[in-house]
Amino acid sequence: MKRVMRPTTLRRLNQLHQSIENCVVCDVNRGFKNYPFRKSYRWIPERIKIMFIAEDPPPSGKYIYDGTNEKFTLGILKLMKEAGLISTMRLEEFTRNGLYLTDVVKCPKGKVNHCVRFLVEEIKILNPDFICTLGKKALSAFLKQKDFKLSDYAGRFIPTNEIKPELNFGIPIFSCYFPLKYPVKMSIKGKHLKKLAHRVM
């Protein structure tokens, strides 16, 4: 998929990528060079309608945007299709429709509290219309409270007063279960995403 990114956006993303690559806060980050974040550049829409935020990249290095993580890619695209966000299960349409996926944690087995500064900068650079968290760890990056049940938030927008000040950009934040994990059926996850789709599309 060939597209042109604005020079200022590309410069800021490259600076962010460099900061991630040079980070030594987590021991797990040392020596890890297969950063999925860089692989997603060509898939970033000109205008992001929904930024989906998952938990962390897979330890295998296989990622949705490099075409090697078929199980996750097909799983999330199937949900998007059922919700009416896309009509075909292709990454190209995912991008054309203004959808983008990133992670809270930028290296496998990293820590949310260490990586959230990178996520803050990424949101500032890309400025999505909506944010959708996928899973409990992703949601925990935004919530003020530490102890919570994902079931209390899944399928609805997060009240502004419950969002951490540093992650409160005035962007509506919707919470969902992670696509490939239980404890709920895929049909329920699809139903939740339809609520978001009706608001966005």
CATH assignment of the domain containing 162: 3.40.470.10
Number of neighbouring beta carbons within 10 Å of residue 162:
14
What pLDDT, on a 0 to 100 scale, did the predictor assign at position 158? 97
Token pair listed for 49: 């309608």
Full residue range of the structural domain in which residue 32 is found = 7-200
* % of the chain surpassing 90 pLDDT: 51
Q: What would the mean pLDDT of 30-59 be, rounded to a whole number? A: 78
**Is residue 183 domain-resident?**
yes
Task: Flag whether the pTM goes above 0.85.
Answer: yes
What pLDDT, on a 0 to 100 scale, did the predictor assign at position 184? 83
**Is residue 164 domain-resident?**
yes
Q: What's CA 6's distance to the chain center, in Å?
A: 21
Starting at the edge strand that comes first in sequence, how are the strands of the sheet with 130-134 ordered?
99-103, 50-54, 130-134, 173-176, 156-157
Query: What SS3 state is found at 192?
Result: helix
Distance CA 138, CA 143 (A): 9
**Is residue 2 domain-resident?**
no
Nearest to 36 by CA among 104, 117, 137: 104
What pLDDT, on a 0 to 100 scale, did the predictor assign at position 167? 96
Q: Tell me how many domains the chain contains.
A: 1
**Is residue 1 domain-resident?**
no
Residue 64: C-alpha distances to residues 74, 135, 153 (Å): 9, 16, 25
156 forms beta bridges with 175
**Is residue 131 domain-resident?**
yes
pLDDT digit string (tens) for 73-94? 888 888 899 899 999 988 889 9
**Is residue 49 domain-resident?**
yes
| 69 pLDDT more than 60 | no
pLDDT digit string (tens) for 3-42? 557 889 889 998 998 888 888 787 665 555 555 667 787 7
DSSP class of residue 159 equals P
pLDDT digit string (tens) for 127-151? 999 999 999 999 999 999 999 999 9
